[in-house]
Structure 1
């Protein structure tokens, strides 16, 4: 027998009572707390069940009084705008070069009858958006998490409720959501290998976050380490700077100290977590009277639009954001339409090295 979401069990049970006449027009339904106790589920699950019944026009709610059986108890078709809408939660309102996520998602959704709703956590906050989305009538969620370890409690509620969710860019620690990511390991390896092939021996990795907190950064770092291992080189990352400076919200001081440490240690190559950090390092180097790539070389990650306009133009690893969005939408719709048959395999999108002007051959 196929397993169905917990909230759907409640929906089915209450619908049967309404259709059989056990619950008649105007009758008050149990409260969220009472449903939670009767069915041994969370308040979020009971609220989701009542929301589904309300969307189907089987019940109506009066604030402060409760939920009641509608006069017209003929179930409405479940296929409506609310139930055919996909929510995308992003950690940024606008990030140059990353808008292709939306383009890829909409390209796939155009082949279906689903539509896209986009929300950014820059104002409301990730947790509040997640709490709201779980109680909404959206069919599913494409989620770009701020880190791999944030808001695990509410995300685990999604897992328990079997809510269709696909993460993008990162995976969530300890929760088996489907994810769509770039080949971060391969990208970190390619970036480091490119520096090695240009005769760099002392190569450092720099990140704005601890590698433990983000699966994508961690994979890039591991790829960098694997390249060093394969070529019998040593890791020159200045990891202690992250704790000393970024934890005090002094990013500028962090980058200054990093560049100074690079020069002190004779490091000639840098693999940056992303393009924005790589560009920041280039600007700091100029302010310190240094030159990229003459004093040291830099490889970024993302290939944002700005990477091709800074001076010197940034060598970087290109992610296919449009393809990631497309795969995320394809996987989510398949999960919604066939939740018990769809194979739970994460999608890994290939990356590409883009050679420009920030790597010097020694």
Structure 2
């Protein structure tokens, strides 16, 4: 069986001790020095040193470095690396932190990640934060305390990044963001090309003859998914040489956010949509960033005594009706591939292999019959 990179470093140091080149009390090379010597990441060299410490081969002293344990002399290194590897296998955990998941998006993704984790012989544990920043911080701290080897994460909506998440990124802890990325932060991310997908939806309406097209969304608030969808909508108008009416942008809908899924927030959103429809009776086409907002819009239209046949609504994600038909033309994200790619890249990081910073998963547009 081929050895992992950290195992090779582990064995190298064991051999150095056995052959007397490293003696009791000698200081080992630092994580950075070992990473440069073996051409690996600091995550890999750090893991090798951690395994040596777990085996009692070395002693790690914060701020000073790693030293060969006093009880070891030439020819008395550990007989094998089996003990640390067995201990490692006993706690093969990956964590997934997400605001929420539902049938229209997230459930297939979760199933895919669970299956792919099992393929790599890891157990996936899950924590929902329901859009609460403090709960997200506590979830990260909990998973780290449980000894997860890496984190899959969909950060919550918000104007500021989670400080605990940033600390993990800068410490080079294995982490993959799913369904979004952090601008300016070098962290592995897997997501749909939301800009292209939103352009596809908007161009679909334009090519059907619509010129007055509204855009509905929760606040972008530094959330890459929503920012890209708004950008794609605006770029479609630019591409077609059409003027964009900013009065048609409604980006303050909060009733579908995990932290606001109560009656009051939804009723406020419905009133916002009702007022818009009354003030802009000639707007008959809508690009909607989320399926739940699309269904809310349809309900408002119906409650106002208007016929849904007069309107065309396109959105991201969907659920079929009781006849197995989709109610809206929509973007279908490949949740299965997204989940598989995210887990594969997380495991690669754990094993010390470099991964691309961003991976875009293909989507397709499903046109309502």
TM over 0.5: same fold?
yes
Q: Structure 1 289/343 Cα, relative in aligned 2: closer, same or farther at 3 Å?
A: same
Cα deviation for residue 171 of structure 1 reads 0.7
* Preserved contact between residue 287 and residue 313 of structure 2 (Cα < 8 Å): yes
Corresponding position of 1:332: 346
Alpha-carbon deviations, 1:292-325, whole Å to 9, x = none? 231x32101012x256779981221111111110
Residue 104 of structure 2 is aligned to residue 89 of structure 1: no
Alpha-carbon deviations, 1:83-127, whole Å to 9, x = none? 422111121165455211122223433432222222222398212
Residue 321 of structure 2 is aligned to residue 283 of structure 1: no
Tell me the TM-score normalised to structure 2 length: 0.72
Tell me the TM-score normalised to structure 1 length: 0.73
Residue 174 of structure 2 is aligned to residue 171 of structure 1: no
Corresponding position of 1:322: 336
* Preserved contact between residue 206 and residue 271 of structure 1 (Cα < 8 Å): yes
Q: Structure 1 238/245 Cα, relative in aligned 2: closer, same or farther at 3 Å?
A: farther
Q: Structure 1 116/6 Cα, relative in aligned 2: closer, same or farther at 3 Å?
A: closer
Q: Structure 1 10/182 Cα, relative in aligned 2: closer, same or farther at 3 Å?
A: closer
Q: Structure 1 184/9 Cα, relative in aligned 2: closer, same or farther at 3 Å?
A: closer
Cα deviation for residue 345 of structure 1 reads 3.7
Cα deviation for residue 161 of structure 1 reads 1.7
- Quick check: 165-174 or 193-202, which moved more? 165-174
Q: 1:135 aligns with which of 145, 154, 159?
A: 145
Task: Give runs of aligned pairs for residues 215-230 of structure 1, distance below 5 A.
Answer: 215-230=224-239
Gaps of 5+ in 1: 24-28, 40-48, 50-57, 59-73, 358-362
Residue 284 of structure 2 is aligned to residue 268 of structure 1: yes
Residue 129 of structure 2 is aligned to residue 121 of structure 1: yes
Question: What RMSD in Å do the two structures reach over aligned CA positions?
Answer: 3.6
Task: Give runs of aligned pairs for residues 1-362 of structure 1, distance below 5 A.
Answer: 1=36, 2=39, 5=42, 9=46, 12=49, 18-19=56-57, 35=62, 76-79=83-86, 80-92=88-100, 94-122=102-130, 125-147=135-157, 149-210=159-220, 212-238=221-247, 242=251, 250-265=265-280, 266-294=282-310, 296-303=311-318, 305-306=319-320, 313-339=327-353, 342-356=354-368
Distance of 1:314 and 1:298 partners within structure 2? 6
Cα deviation for residue 200 of structure 1 reads 0.2
* Preserved contact between residue 178 and residue 190 of structure 2 (Cα < 8 Å): yes
Gaps of 5+ in 2: 1-35, 70-79
Distance of 1:165 and 1:310 partners within structure 2? 37
Alpha-carbon deviations, 1:172-209, whole Å to 9, x = none? 23321111101211110011011111100011111112
* Preserved contact between residue 299 and residue 314 of structure 1 (Cα < 8 Å): yes
In structure 2, the residue corresponding to 1:145 is in which secondary structure? coil
Q: Structure 1 239/251 Cα, relative in aligned 2: closer, same or farther at 3 Å?
A: farther
Distance of 1:236 and 1:171 partners within structure 2? 29
Distance of 1:14 and 1:110 partners within structure 2? 24
* Preserved contact between residue 88 and residue 118 of structure 1 (Cα < 8 Å): yes
